[in-house]
């Protein structure tokens, strides 16, 4: 999970519009307005009792930044987080126990992430376009999807989601 602050927000600060009276008024009309923002650590949302559709059922949501998937999974299992996106190995190999199934629900959905093979172009070996093309043509894409993603992926020709737009 990356740093999820708006583009205009300097690191470590809330955007200025969160402090302006007009935005504070609008904030009361959101079900869970931002209450605390610590860049690279967490964002805290508290339910607004003044929300025009009534007070939300959840009083507080804390979104934590945990950049390591293995650490996040351990946090999930220990109760430190309530929800996360599992990697294919976690989904296939680490969530099949009766204990896990008793405590958690797993859902399959189409993800927007992607895995790719990149080349460090500053390395002399990869400066030659023909070398990169040869590696790309020689790579067994099905074996990569099966081995790295445990079959939970599709080969794509471009980084673009399906069914975008009309």
Give the residues of the chain that fall short of pLDDT 50: 1-12, 14, 18-23, 166
- The pLDDT value given to residue 27: 55
Give the pLDDT confidence score for residue 20 in this predicted structure: 47
Residue 85 lies in a domain: yes
- Per-residue pLDDT, 151: 86
**Domain tally, the chain:** 2
User: Which residue range is the domain that position 122 belongs to?
Assistant: 110-166
90 shares a domain with 23: yes
Q: What is the pTM of this model?
A: 0.59
* Phi, psi (degrees; rounded to nearest 5) at 126: -95, 0
Which pLDDT belongs to residue 55?
A: 79
Q: For residue 153, which of 121, 117, 124, 110 has the smallest C-alpha distance? A: 110
The answer to whether residue 3 sits within a structural domain is: no
Pairing relationship of beta strands 60-64 and 42-46 according to DSSP bridges = antiparallel
pLDDT at residue 5 in the model: 35
Write the CATH number for 74.
3.40.190.10
Question: Do 115 and 94 belong to one domain?
Answer: no
Say yes or no: 37 and 22 in one domain.
yes
20 and 99 part of one domain = yes
Report which of 116, 114, 106, 118 is spatially closest to residue 152, judged by C-alpha positions.
114
**What is residue 161's predicted lDDT score, i.e. its pLDDT?**
58
* 88 & 115 share domain: no
pLDDT at 45: 87
Please list, residue by residue across 155-165, b when 16 or more beta carbons sit within 10 angstroms of its beta carbon and e when fewer do: eeeeeeeeeee
């Amino acid at each position: 999970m990356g740093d999820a602050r708006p583009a205009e927000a300097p690191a470590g600060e809330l955007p200025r519009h969160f402090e302006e009276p007009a935005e504070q008024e609008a904030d009361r009309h959101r079900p869970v307005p931002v209450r605390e923002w610590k860049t690279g650590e967490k964002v805290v949302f508290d339910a607004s009792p003044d929300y025009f559709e009534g007070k939300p059922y959840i009083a507080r949501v804390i979104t934590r930044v945990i950049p390591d998937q293995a650490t996040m999974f351990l946090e999930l299992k220990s109760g430190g987080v309530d929800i996360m996106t599992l990697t294919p190995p976690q989904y296939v190999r680490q969530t099949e126990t009766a204990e896990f199934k008793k405590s958690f629900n797993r859902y399959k959905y189409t993800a927007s992430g992607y895995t790719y093979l990149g080349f460090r172009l500053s390395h002399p070996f990869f400066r030659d376009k023909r070398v990169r093309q040869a590696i790309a043509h020689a790579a067994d894409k099905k074996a990569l999807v099966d081995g790295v993603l445990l079959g939970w992926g599709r080969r794509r020709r471009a980084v673009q989601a399906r069914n975008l737009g009309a």
